[in-house]
Amino acid sequence: MSYTIEKMILREEIEKKIKDLAKEIQRDFKDQEIICIGLLKGSVLFMSDLIKELDIPLSIDFMSVSSYGSGTSTTGVVKILKDTDFDVKDKKLLIIEDIIDSGLTLKYVKEFLMSKGAQSVNICTLLDKPDRRKVDIKSDYTGFIIPDEFVVGYGLDFDQKYRNLPYIGKVVMDK
């Protein structure tokens, strides 16, 4: 199987969008403390750049959740591989995600965190692929809405590769 990667969203566009998202989050959480929860591994680059732009009190934590395996489409079964280290009861949480695709993982994580007594759970995603949605879930803060393409770069992977690309690219299978 051979493929190429075509650039979709350039590094400069990502940087500008992150600054815009940070302004929205700061406006909404002014003088409030939040816990930013990154969903590993894809959110790491986005989360790192986003929290550097936030001038509000915050803590960070991570969860590792899987519904993919090594393929390019979700299995539909969500597994929590690593839970939060913080007690989230009565806390305001901001889930930071690289991409919302089917929505199954994010819906599961949001409901899981609410069941642990979180005061609120908001979602910030770099990419949203609404054409693939299988459940009703929406992001409170969205970077880019993209078409139904398999994308890599800036934290997103194809079988654990390409996370380090400084841009978002789509994987194009050669014929």
- Positions marked active-site: 101
- d(C-alpha 148, C-alpha 167), whole Å: 17
Q: Where are the alpha helices (DSSP H) in the chain?
A: 11-28, 44-53, 104-115
- d(C-alpha 115, C-alpha 80), whole Å: 14
Helices (H) and strands (E) in the chain, counts: 3, 9
